[in-house]
Amino acid sequence: MDDSVLEALVIENKSKIVLLVLDGLGDIPDAARGGRTPLGAARKPNLDAITPGSALGRILPVAPGITPGSGPGHLALFGYDPIQVVVGRGVLEALGAGMPLQRGDVAARANFCTIDPQGVVVDRRAGRIASDVSAKLVEKLAKETGRIDDVEVILKAGKQHRFVALFRGPGLAGDVTDADPHHEGVPIPDVRPLDESAAGQKTAHIVNRFVARAKDVLQREKVANAALVRGVSARPHFPGYLERFKLRAAAIAAYPMYRGVAELAGMSVLPVGDTPADAFALARERWNDFDYFFIHVKATDMAGEDGNFDAKVAAIETVDAALPALLALEPDVLCVTGDHSTPVPAKAHSWHPVPVLVHGHLCGADHSPQFNEKSACAGSLGDLRSRDLMAVLLANALRLDKYGA
Amino acid sequence: MDDSVLEALVIENKSKIVLLVLDGLGDIPDAARGGRTPLGAARKPNLDAITPGSALGRILPVAPGITPGSGPGHLALFGYDPIQVVVGRGVLEALGAGMPLQRGDVAARANFCTIDPQGVVVDRRAGRIASDVSAKLVEKLAKETGRIDDVEVILKAGKQHRFVALFRGPGLAGDVTDADPHHEGVPIPDVRPLDESAAGQKTAHIVNRFVARAKDVLQREKVANAALVRGVSARPHFPGYLERFKLRAAAIAAYPMYRGVAELAGMSVLPVGDTPADAFALARERWNDFDYFFIHVKATDMAGEDGNFDAKVAAIETVDAALPALLALEPDVLCVTGDHSTPVPAKAHSWHPVPVLVHGHLCGADHSPQFNEKSACAGSLGDLRSRDLMAVLLANALRLDKYGA
């Protein structure tokens, strides 16, 4: 269904919706654990208490077989089509680095490399130099390239050889090629605009100047003597929660990437501590200021990425232990799910559908004794695209008018 | 799949298809009734007898989270995309009032209101005047506005302050704004065409003349002295059952709205009594004249709207008691479902998927002991969009050719 059809049905009321995202929640049965998943194995008495009265189901973040990154995974949960609404690599990297983006900003992923005297790239990652060494190079580079024409250049060091380059100035665009040959043995290519626009031409010119300046600044450095730039992209602008859903939305997320994506969706991003207890306490504190709360928990995904079953169980149990504070707020609709699966045996994001639980007075109780991948598969919500979950939550909050007479 | 791909596969044979629609059939578990739904609680030995040999599943009328009106709900069951094929508010109102619509007709919802001497709307509903008082005003208004230029104006009283206005004449269109400010304290706005077409301009002119005439006619009335007009829409025209599916289709429905929508879909609308027994007797009588029978039962929806669990159970049991007469006709394909859910706890249409049962010699028996929301959720038909059900019924009737070699 076209977004505009949904948005035309949105009505306002006093209800409160909470979307509690356990990042990477979904998993696959682990034979070594009796075929259980971390969600199935976790002791979660508080979640168990509301599960029989909840509707269960599964969500598919992008499409069958597609493993989503964190950007598309969250955009879909926020009700955007992750194929249509694209956030560029550079922008995601900047958001993940906690760099506030203004409208018109262009961001890129960058990293140090080594080139030979003829300018040929000999090591695209400069031997994966240590983060602290790299940070000093970024500092030096930033000092020497503070401004190119009317464009401010803001750099932020990342892990090892990586850093983020942010270009802020009038008339920039994201549609340019990479200053990165993507393999060794050739020189760094010039950046070219992908269209005829003046903004593309200007951006290509600025990025090329930046790459040239980096060569100058770094020429006497031993560990890295040049920089590559890729994934140049403009901060996207699309209608946010207030405009689309008439919801005053708050994001309670400790990690920059999720704060950034939530900010793109028009949420108010609240400063918060690291634990679920911190997050729920903040929700309580700001309960009257918002209609919708996106609460993000990172630990489940990290445990999945580490292939650590017990750590993922513990992360879920920590959320459950803190849950009474959230339940005490009596949200009209509570949804517990993930942005994607990060199965312990995969040690990475995956394409598997993600279990979802929706609790509300008209959700249609499934009377399932437990919330896990298997019960979710049999749940009354069925299999949904993640981007359709938002409509289900609005419906449960009685925030959608009837379609047609 | 594009409609044209499906329609190209349609073949003719002697099979008979029955679509038995229990309006608002779907429900959600009621904690006060041991977590049962009306469909689960109803004693339905005749349906039970065919259930193990049937395929079960669920249908989604429009999209996840979307609550459909009766129009979209039925259009989807009839194999139309309810987002693409839109029946305007005024047209649905006219159909619901039992006003036969001809091609080119434009219909609108109207109601009496009160305005002050400056023309400002002070009560949009004229104090919700009694239906009999309103009917007299409609009669008076109809007498004085029988014709505006070459356009015939046909009025029909509804409940309380409401009535339907039908405009019949050459060159009219539906794309005009409302003669309704939608809130009080401002004058009735002029109707404007939504495009540059001559038909839009003419329609706006005619509706404005009607609103002006109503002010003249009603000016000395105490209870209401003006009329508002909204949802102006033209009778849509789209390919019907014969053209699309090579089916001679009959509609057996007692209520005007469903008769009207079936007529839009090209069905022959048969006059019928109120009960399921009447409907099945009529099907028997006309069995040889048609390939497809749409049979509509309203009582389930009404009970759901009333929040009356027992009445919904009774409505289902009444259908079941009459069912042997229908089964005796031995339709090749029998489908039992609803156009949407009307859960008793919601007392309204809802977004929840609707259980569906398909019985036929190649349906693939699920061996479910009972037809209810839970068994439907686990059924072999899976979750379908309502608009795709028609293809499943045609397939079961062996009326679809293979796609590709």
- Residue B33 neighbours by CB under 8 Å, 6+ apart: B41, B309
CB of B386 less than 8 A from some CB of A: no
User: At residue A364, what are phi and psi to the nearest 5 degrees?
Assistant: 85, 90
Paired residues of A110 in beta bridges: A163, A229
Q: Do B383 and A382 touch (CB under 8 A)?
A: yes
Mean pLDDT computed over every residue of chain A = 96
Q: Do A380 and B35 touch (CB under 8 A)?
A: no
CB of B350 less than 8 A from some CB of A: yes
Is residue A96's pLDDT more than 90?
A: no
- Which amino acid, residue A230? R
Q: Do A365 and B64 touch (CB under 8 A)?
A: no
How does residue A212 score in pLDDT terms, banded at 50, 70 and 90? very high
CB of B28 less than 8 A from some CB of A: yes
**pLDDT (tens digit, 9 = 90+) per residue, A284-329?**
999 999 999 999 999 999 999 999 999 999 999 999 999 999 999 9
Using DSSP's 3-state secondary structure scheme, residue A291 falls into coil
Q: Do B383 and A380 touch (CB under 8 A)?
A: no
Residue in this structure with the two tokens 């900047």, named with its chain if needed? A94
* Mean pLDDT, rounded, for B134-159: 94
Q: B351 contacts in A (CB within 8 Å)?
A: 391-392, 395, 400
- Which amino acid, residue B284? R
**Chain B interface test: which of A7, A11, A398, A402 (most B C-beta within 10 Å):** A402
CB of A378 less than 8 A from some CB of B: yes
CA angle, residues B278, B283, B289, in degrees to nearest 5? 145
Q: Which residue of B has its CA nearest to A380?
A: B377
Is residue B405's pLDDT more than 90?
A: no
User: At residue B40, what are phi and psi to the nearest 5 degrees?
Assistant: -75, -30
CB of B180 less than 8 A from some CB of A: no
- B284 to chain A, minimum CA–CA distance in Å? 32
CB of B339 less than 8 A from some CB of A: no
Read off the tokens for B54.
Answer: 């049937």
pLDDT for position A273: 87
Mean pLDDT computed over every residue of chain B = 96
CB of B384 less than 8 A from some CB of A: no
Q: Do B353 and A382 touch (CB under 8 A)?
A: yes
Residue in this structure with the two tokens 């149990």, named with its chain if needed? A317
Q: Which residue of A has its CA nearest to B72?
A: A404
Is residue B6's pLDDT more than 80?
A: yes
Considering only the beta carbons, identify the residue of A6, A365, A390 that sits closest to B29: A365
CA distance B403 to A121: 53
**pLDDT (tens digit, 9 = 90+) per residue, A348-357?**
999 999 999 9
Is residue B1's pLDDT more than 80?
A: no
CB of A212 less than 8 A from some CB of B: no
For residues A191, A192, A197, A203, the Cα torsion angle rounded to the nearest 10 degrees is 10
**pLDDT (tens digit, 9 = 90+) per residue, B316-368?**
999 999 999 999 999 999 999 999 999 999 999 999 999 999 999 999 999 99
Contact present, B244 and B101 (Cβ < 8 Å)? no
Q: Do B29 and A388 touch (CB under 8 A)?
A: no
CA distance B284 to B281: 5
- A96 to chain B, minimum CA–CA distance in Å? 32
Q: Any long-range contacts for A248-251 (C-beta under 8 Å, 24+ apart)? A: A248/A289, A248/A290, A248/A291, A248/A292, A249/A290, A249/A291, A249/A292, A249/A293, A249/A294, A250/A283, A250/A286, A250/A289, A250/A290, A250/A292, A250/A293, A250/A294, A251/A294, A251/A296
Q: B352 contacts in A (CB within 8 Å)?
A: 364, 380
**pLDDT (tens digit, 9 = 90+) per residue, B121-130?**
999 999 889 9
Considering only the beta carbons, identify the residue of B35, B87, B89 that sits closest to A365: B35
CB of B120 less than 8 A from some CB of A: no
Q: Do B64 and A5 touch (CB under 8 A)?
A: no
CA distance A216 to A402: 64
pLDDT for position A55: 98
Q: The pTM is what?
A: 0.91
pLDDT for position A190: 97
Q: Do B64 and A380 touch (CB under 8 A)?
A: no
CA distance A270 to A251: 6
Half-sphere exposure of B9 (CA within 13 A, CB side): 19
Is residue A71's pLDDT more than 90?
A: yes
**pLDDT (tens digit, 9 = 90+) per residue, B8-56?**
999 999 999 999 999 999 999 998 899 999 999 999 999 999 999 999 9
Run of H or E residues at A7: helix A3-9
Of residues B359 and B271, the one with the higher pLDDT is B359
Residue A32: is it exposed, middle or buried by C-beta count within 10 angstroms (0-12/13-18/19+)? exposed
Q: B65 contacts in A (CB within 8 Å)?
A: 6, 388, 390-395, 400
Read off the tokens for A51.
Answer: 């599960």
pLDDT for position B347: 97
Considering only the beta carbons, identify the residue of B64, B68, B96 that sits closest to A404: B68
How does residue A256 score in pLDDT terms, banded at 50, 70 and 90? confident
Q: How many CB atoms lie within 10 A of CB A195?
A: 10
Contact present, A145 and A206 (Cβ < 8 Å)? no
**pLDDT (tens digit, 9 = 90+) per residue, B204-239?**
999 999 999 999 999 989 899 999 999 999 999 999
* Mean pLDDT, rounded, for A194-213: 96
Contact present, B27 and B37 (Cβ < 8 Å)? yes
Q: Which residue of A has its CA nearest to B383?
A: A382
pLDDT for position A1: 74
Contact present, B7 and B244 (Cβ < 8 Å)? yes
- A207 to chain B, minimum CA–CA distance in Å? 45
How far is CA B140 from each of CA A78, A313, B144, rounded to the nearest angstrom? 54, 74, 6
CA angle, residues B126, B129, B135, in degrees to nearest 5? 115
* Mean pLDDT, rounded, for A94-101: 90
Strands (E), A255-330: 268-270, 292-297
Q: Do B69 and A6 touch (CB under 8 A)?
A: no
- Which amino acid, residue A353? P
- Residue A62 neighbours by CB under 8 Å, 6+ apart: A68, A72, A73, A76, A82, A83, A386
DSSP letter string over A113-166? EEE-TTSBEEETTGGG--HHHHHHHHHHHHHHTSEETTEEEEEEE-STTEEEEE
Q: Do A9 and B70 touch (CB under 8 A)?
A: no
Q: Closest Cα to residue A381, out of A359, A405, A352, A348?
A: A359
Q: Closest Cα to residue B95, out of B337, B269, B292?
A: B269
- B315 to chain A, minimum CA–CA distance in Å? 21
Q: What percent of chain B has pLDDT over 70?
A: 100
Strands (E), A174-262: 226-234, 249-252
CB of B117 less than 8 A from some CB of A: no
CB of A367 less than 8 A from some CB of B: yes
Q: Please report which residue ranges of B276-328 form alpha helices under DSSP H.
A: 276-285, 299-305, 309-327
- A204 to chain B, minimum CA–CA distance in Å? 42
CB of A393 less than 8 A from some CB of B: yes
Q: B62 contacts in A (CB within 8 Å)?
A: 1, 403
CB of B351 less than 8 A from some CB of A: yes
Run of H or E residues at B234: strand B226-234
ipTM of this complex prediction, to 2 decimal places: 0.90
Q: A363 contacts in B (CB within 8 Å)?
A: 28
Residue in this structure with the two tokens 């044979």, named with its chain if needed? B13
DSSP B293: E
CB of B343 less than 8 A from some CB of A: yes
Contact present, B138 and B195 (Cβ < 8 Å)? no
Considering only the beta carbons, identify the residue of B66, B343, B345 that sits closest to A403: B66
- A388 to chain B, minimum CA–CA distance in Å? 6
Considering only the beta carbons, identify the residue of A362, A367, A384 that sits closest to B64: A384
How far is CA A397 from each of CA A18, A53, B5, B229, B368, rounded to the nearest angstrom? 10, 16, 38, 31, 33
Read off the tokens for A293.
Answer: 């709360």
Considering only the beta carbons, identify the residue of A1, A362, A391 that sits closest to B28: A362
Is residue B274's pLDDT more than 80?
A: yes
CA distance A231 to A237: 17
**pLDDT (tens digit, 9 = 90+) per residue, A16-66?**
999 999 999 999 999 989 999 999 999 999 999 999 999 999 999 999 999
Q: Closest Cα to residue A260, out of A60, A107, A61?
A: A107
Considering only the beta carbons, identify the residue of A366, A382, A395 that sits closest to B351: A395
Q: A378 contacts in B (CB within 8 Å)?
A: 377-378
pLDDT for position B271: 86
Is residue A208's pLDDT more than 80?
A: yes
Q: Do A362 and B350 touch (CB under 8 A)?
A: yes
CB of A405 less than 8 A from some CB of B: yes
Q: Do B92 and A405 touch (CB under 8 A)?
A: yes
